[in-house]
Amino acid sequence: MAADPGVKPSAVPDGRWSRLIRLGSLAGGVAGNMLAEGARQFAQGKRPKIQQLLLTPGNARRVADQLAQLRGAAMKLGQLLSMDAGELLPPELAEILSRLRADATPMPMSQVVKALEANWGPGWDRHFERFSFTPMAAASIGQVHFGQRKDGRHIAVKIQYPGIRRSIDSDVDNVASLLRLSGLLPKSLDIKPLLAEAKKQLHDEADYRREGACMIQFASLLTDAGDFVVPEMHADLTTDTILAMTRLDGVALETLSHLPQAERDQIAGQLFRLLFREIFEFRLIQTDPNFANYRYAPESKRLILLDFGATRAYSTAMIDSYRHLMNSAIADDRVGMNTAAEAIGYFQHNIREHQRQAVLDIFALACEPLRHVGAYDFGSSDLATRIRDAGMVLGMDRDFWHTPPADALFLHRKLGGLYLLAAKLKARVKLGDIARSGGLIACP
């Protein structure tokens, strides 16, 4: 995501104790705000509830700002909770956490230099003709800088925030405890699976050599797809915590609403074709739906793919179950949908029949664009709202709450992210035709 020039850089706390102190300070600040707000309301003759005191705008800002300052696991946990459990959270907390999908505070130049020296040694600038210390993007794990090598090649350098890797497990546990103890998370919400997944994903994303290998693998898989471009990794400058790659310039997708309808339709169609290939051909999915992971080159009409840290491999059995689920949903075959959903891991043994049917209803809604004859108009559709509302109704049934396998959560997140992007572009996409051409649906 692009770094906000108006955001003042701040050093990333890289020690266990300094990060714990930040979280303790956050808890103290929240408590102080509660006392002050409570006293103010009592003076006005009101008797506020604890939850009302917790979820004030001041406390909302404190939580979001401190998690963004800590970056890393603290920020990622907020992102995961906002996207995976948003329907089950108080609206105020959901809004706080949603900010963490966009806000990141860059680290100062002194910390950037220290990180470069730690990875490339003293005199690291010998590799460069020019190097910009102003980050072009900042996210939860690291920030991106541009440079030009001595041989003239322009590159992008992703630098991991210091201390992120060794703080992952403790950060996730500490932030979860803080949110739970403060009452900002409902007691009935079981977030243990999300915590385990947050740790695993963070460890994967913090391994930049792994991300580089995934980037190379995607480039190889897409050699036959001329409408996509993947950066080339500069192996001699890449380490566990620095990823150096070809700089590829393009336009942010969310800014393309001015393009002709046909061009916006083409862009969305390209992304859905890619997703179906990732699922059913590669069984390797870049699961992060962040819009900033894509750029568009208007001259060549090619899509630039960025950030492969959240790449996940899927088993043949899982993919076969999803093929069965989607085909059954398209055919309105509830028995087939139920069989596939059970195989994926959606149903506990004690699930009630009305809960089972509610889950199948949501799957049927999600497959609406696939069933639609002709181009599905994402821009005028209220599909996202209907899915959200159905999820909220199900989420209110506390006896139901069950977290499906992480692979399922991440696949749904990616599909939902593309639906939102298609809506942002006001795209019209013949999704059924794309699925048929990709072999998802059996041709009649």
- 156: domain CATH number is 3.30.200
Q: Using one digit for the tens of pLDDT, what is the confidence trace for 132-175?
A: 999 988 777 889 999 999 999 999 999 998 887 887 887 777 76
369 and 260 in a common domain:
yes
408 and 302 in a common domain:
yes
Q: Of residues 19 and 407, which shows the higher confidence score?
A: 407
Single-letter code of the amino acid located at 15: G
Q: Using one digit for the tens of pLDDT, what is the confidence trace for 315-367?
A: 999 999 999 999 999 999 999 999 999 999 888 777 788 878 888 888 899 99
377 and 340 in a common domain:
yes
297: pLDDT strictly greater than 50: yes
- Greatest mean pLDDT among 184-198, 214-228, 361-375 lies in 214-228
Q: Summarize the confidence of residues 275-280 as an average pLDDT.
A: 94
Q: Using CA of residue 57, residue 59, residue 63, residue 65, what is the dihedral sign?
A: positive
In a domain, 23, yes or no: yes
Q: For residue 96, give the nearest of 107, 85, 108, 82 by alpha carbon.
A: 82
Q: Of residues 425 and 5, which shows the higher confidence score?
A: 425
Nearest-10 crossing angle of helices 383-396, 406-424: 150
58: pLDDT strictly greater than 80: no
36: pLDDT strictly greater than 70: no
Known catalytic residues are: 288
Q: How many domains does the chain have?
A: 3
At 180 the pLDDT is 65
pLDDT confidence tier of residue 381, bands split at 50, 70 and 90: very high
Q: Of residues 233 and 37, which shows the higher confidence score?
A: 233
374 and 339 in a common domain:
yes
244 and 380 in a common domain:
no
Q: Of residues 393 and 46, which shows the higher confidence score?
A: 393
260 and 242 in a common domain:
no
300 and 154 in a common domain:
no
Determine what percent of the chain is predicted with pLDDT higher than 70.
68
Cα 346 vs. chain centroid, distance in angstroms? 21
At 377 the pLDDT is 97
Cα–Cα dist 164/205, whole Å: 11
pLDDT confidence tier of residue 219, bands split at 50, 70 and 90: very high
Backbone angles phi and psi of 40, in degrees to 5: -65, -45
CB 340 within 8 A of CB 321: yes
Cα–Cα dist 137/397, whole Å: 40
Q: Summarize the confidence of residues 97-123 as an average pLDDT.
A: 79
Q: Which residue, chain included where needed, has tokens 């500490």?
A: 174
At 302 the pLDDT is 96
Q: For residue 12, give the nearest of 190, 201, 206 by alpha carbon.
A: 206
Cα–Cα dist 92/60, whole Å: 7
41 and 114 in a common domain:
no
At 410 the pLDDT is 84
In a domain, 9, yes or no: no
Cα–Cα dist 318/412, whole Å: 13
87: pLDDT strictly greater than 80: no
Residues paired with 376 in a beta bridge? 429
At 53 the pLDDT is 38
Backbone angles phi and psi of 44, in degrees to 5: -90, 5
438 and 366 in a common domain:
yes
Q: Of residues 437 and 394, which shows the higher confidence score?
A: 437
Q: Give the residue numbers spanning the domain of 45.
A: 16-104+165-190
CB 63 within 8 A of CB 99: no
Single-letter code of the amino acid located at 364: A
Give me the half-sphere count of Cα atoms (radius 13 Å) on the Cβ side of residue 212: 21
130 and 35 in a common domain:
no
Cα–Cα dist 307/7, whole Å: 23
